[in-house]
Amino acid sequence: MPLTVKSGTCYALYVYDAGLSINLERCRAALSSLRDSEFAEARRPPAYFDYTPLPIRITQQRGVPQLPGCQPLLSVEIVLYDFGAVAVIYTIPFSGDLGRVSDLSSALYSDTVLHDDSRKRVETIAHELRGSVLKPGVSDLVEDYVIFQFRDLETDCGLGEVHSRHGQELARILRAERQALSDQEVADAVSCRISYGTDDLTLIDWNAALIIDPDAEDMRAVLEFANVELLELRFLDRQLDDALDRAYDEMSVARWRPLGRRRSGSTLRRISRMQVDGALLFERVSNALKLMGDQFLARLYRLAAQRFHLAEWNAGILRKLDTIDNLYEKVNDLNATRRLELLEWIIILLIALEIVLPFIRRLLGSY
C-alpha cells in the first residue's frame, strides 16, 4: 500500500535582511497605532525557546496569493527579528499520495508568485516601520525553504522504515525533483533524520524538511530559525567580501601627500565601522536563540546546522572579521608611520631654519 497523507500542511519560508537592526519595542508601538492596519499580533514562540529579545510574529489577513493547482493558502505570517531579519511564512494545506506532495514541492521550487509576493510584503512592512529600522534596506538575497508536515497518514510500514521503504519518493520531495534519483542521492537526501518517539520522524535536507508528527510547532520553529541564521550569515559574508575589496582598493591607491592623512583617516573610520557592524550582527544572530533544557530540540538544531553548513559559514566569517582586524591595524600603523614621518620632516625643517636664519640675519644686516 502506498503512503498516503490524509492531512498535511506545507510551510513555505522566505527570509530577507531588512536592515542592520530593528527596534522591536518601537515596532510593537507602531503596529498598535496604525488605524487601518492589516497587521495583527500572532502566536508567541514555544515555551522551550529563549529568544533575546523576543521576535514579533504577526499575521496579514488580506491579499493572500493563490497558487495554481493548490488548495487555498490559509495565512501569511511575518516574523521580525531584532538583528534585521524578516521571515515570511505561507501556510498551504495538502493531502494525497507522495506523488502529489512531490508535485507540490516541484511547483514551489519553480514558483515566482510567492517569491515576488514575499518581497513586496517585506518592503511594505519595512516602509511602515522605517522609523524602527537602523540602516534600512531590503537585501536582494533571499533564503527560501519548505517544511512539509504530515499530520495524519496511512502507511504500510512503521515510521522507522518509511525512509527506506519510500526513500525514492521522499527524496524527490526533499530535492524538488520530478525525475527518479540515484541510490546515492536518495541515501544523502534522507540521511539527516531524527525521531523523538516511535510515532514521529523528521527528515532535514538543504532545500526542504519533512516532519511526520501531528504537533510539530517546536520543530518548525527550530528549522525556521536555522534558515534565518543561514540567510544572515550569507548576507554578512557578502558584506565582508565587499568590505575587504573596498578596503584593499583604498589602501592600494593611497599615496603620501598632504591629503593622505585625511584619506587614511577616513579609510580607518570605514574599516572600524565594518568591524563593529559585522561583529554586532554576528553576535546577535549567534546568541538570539537558546533552547532551554530541551535536548531533542538542541539535537534537531545541530542536525539542521550540519545540513546547512552553518559551522563552515561561521568559520569563514570569523576568518574575514580577523582579516578586517588586521587591515585596521595595518591602516592604523600606516597613519602612525605617516605622522612620525611628518614630525621628522618638521624637525628637519626647524633645524635647517635654525642653521640658515643667522646667515639670513647677517646678510640682511650688511645692507
Q: What is the pLDDT of residues 311-359, one digit of tens each?
A: 898 888 888 888 877 777 777 777 777 788 888 888 998 888 888 888 7
Least confident stretch, 94-108, 149-163, 176-190, 306-320: 149-163
The closest alpha carbon to 122, from 41, 39, 44, belongs to 39
> To 10 degrees, the CA torsion angle through 154, 160, 164, 166?
10
What integer best gives the mean pLDDT of the chain?
82
15, β-bridge pairs: 87, 143
Q: Tell whether the model's pLDDT for residue 302 goes beyond 80.
A: yes
**pLDDT confidence of residue 43:** 58
pLDDT at 36: 44
Residue 111: the pLDDT is 83
Look at residue 211 and tell me whether its pLDDT is greater than 90.
Answer: yes
Q: Which of 67-71, 87-91, 227-231, 256-260 has the lowest mean pLDDT?
A: 256-260
Q: Whole-model pTM?
A: 0.83
**Rounded mean pLDDT of 233-262?**
68
pLDDT at 250: 62
Residue entry with cell 587614511: 264
Cβ contact 67:114 at 8 Å: yes
pLDDT in tens, 85-94: 999 999 999 9
Spatial separation of the C-alpha atoms in residues 291 and 297, rounded to whole Å: 7
Residue percentage of the chain with pLDDT more than 90: 32
pLDDT over 60 (residue 260):
no
16-45 pLDDT, tens digit each: 999 888 898 888 887 776 544 455 555 566
What is the 3 state secondary structure string of 317-364?
Answer: HHHHHHHHHHHHHHHHHHHHHHHHHHHHHHHHHHHHHHHHHHHHHHHH
Average pLDDT over residues 61-83: 81
